[in-house]
Structure 1
Amino acid sequence: MPWTAFSSSSNCPRIDVAVDMGNPFLNRTVDGFLKIGAVAASRVAAEETFHFLQKGTVSGVYVGVEYGMERVRGTKDWKNAMLGGAVTGLLISVTSNNNKEKVFKDAITAGAVATAAEFINYLT
């Protein structure tokens, strides 16, 4: 029969789950399975949070560079998106330790994607 208990410790919460299968070996197996599942779920949550923040960082760099281009050039047009995308692709590729050819491909690709997105925004 399952039961749950929360400890009153201020350091970290603790959840104990006991399932009585009628056999000590099965009880330990189920207990181990539940603990490993909790660790795996925690790991996935941490990795997904990291990837989310990493994508947000790229977006933040792009928005900042595009806004900087707008301020420097004194106009708001598709060229800001192109330059912002190219500079962002360049920065991300350089920090990823890519070779020289890959850095330029990433810059050109990011600039093209940003420009296409800007044109699509103008159409809608």
Structure 2
Amino acid sequence: MPRSSFGGSVSGPKVDVAIDLGNPFLNVIVDGFLKIGTVAVTRAAAEDAYFTVKSGKFSGHKFEDTLKKMCKEGAYWGTVAGVYAGMEYGVERIRGTRDWKNAMIGGALTGLTISAASKNNGDRIVIDAITGGAIATAADFLNYLT
């Protein structure tokens, strides 16, 4: 029977939360969703806070709109990240090696999947797949530099 556990650690400005769902594939997906979803929520909140302070007007309606935007952005970008993390992990398991090609293939598959789910046409899906592969490969290369 699968076990679930929750753990976390804080050191300096980095916060890392680990959720163990009993399956490494699911763990990778949920981790990607939570990390990038949190970034998207924070960005949406900061953006709306800036415009609220700039305008000097605050209302309950504006606050409600901000919460909706935070949820929408967090869910969208968290889903994209979860799909990418799962694709890259799956490609790594299938290929049996860990290298930049996993990021490229995972990014391309993610771009293709998200684009197709958005009901884009054939050319747009191909362009999104190429873009996803290029961004994921560039991010992987930049990761090696740090």
Q: TM-score, normalised by structure 2?
A: 0.58
The gaps in structure 2 that reach 5 residues or longer are 1-57
Aligned match of 2:102: 80
Match of 1:61 in 2: 83
Number of residue-to-residue matches in the alignment: 90
| Residue 69 of structure 2, aligned match among 26, 47, 64 | 47
Q: Post-superposition shift, 1:111?
A: 0.0
Residue 37 of structure 1, CA deviation: 2.0
Query: What is the aligned partner in structure 2 of residue 71 from structure 1?
Result: 93
**Aligned alpha-carbon RMSD (Å):** 1.6
Give the drift of 1:63.
0.3
- The equivalent of 2:144 in structure 1 is 122
Q: Which runs of 4+ in 1 moved over 3 A?
A: none
What are the equivalent positions in structure 2 for 1:7-46 lying under 5 Å apart? 37-46=59-68
Equivalent residue, structure 2, for 1:108: 130
Offset, 1:43: 2.1
Instruction: Please give the alpha-carbon distance, in whole angstroms, between the structure 2 residues aligned to 1:98 and 1:123.
Output: 35
Give the Cα separation in 1 of the matches to 2:129 and 2:65.
33
Letter in structure 1 aligned against 2:119:
N
Q: How far does residue 84 in structure 1 lie from its aligned partner after superposition?
A: 0.2
Q: 1:116, 1:45 → 2: CA distance?
A: 32
Cα distance between partner residues in 2 of 1:117 and 1:54: 20
What is residue 5 of structure 1 aligned with on the other side? none
Q: Deviations over 1:31-87 (max 9, x none)?
A: xxxxx9212311221222111111011000000000000000000000000000000
Q: Equivalents in 2 of 1:61, 1:51: separation in Å?
A: 15
Percent identical among aligned pairs is 53
Higher strand share: 2
**Bigger relative contact order, structure 1 or 2 (CA pairs below 8 A, ≥6 apart):** 2
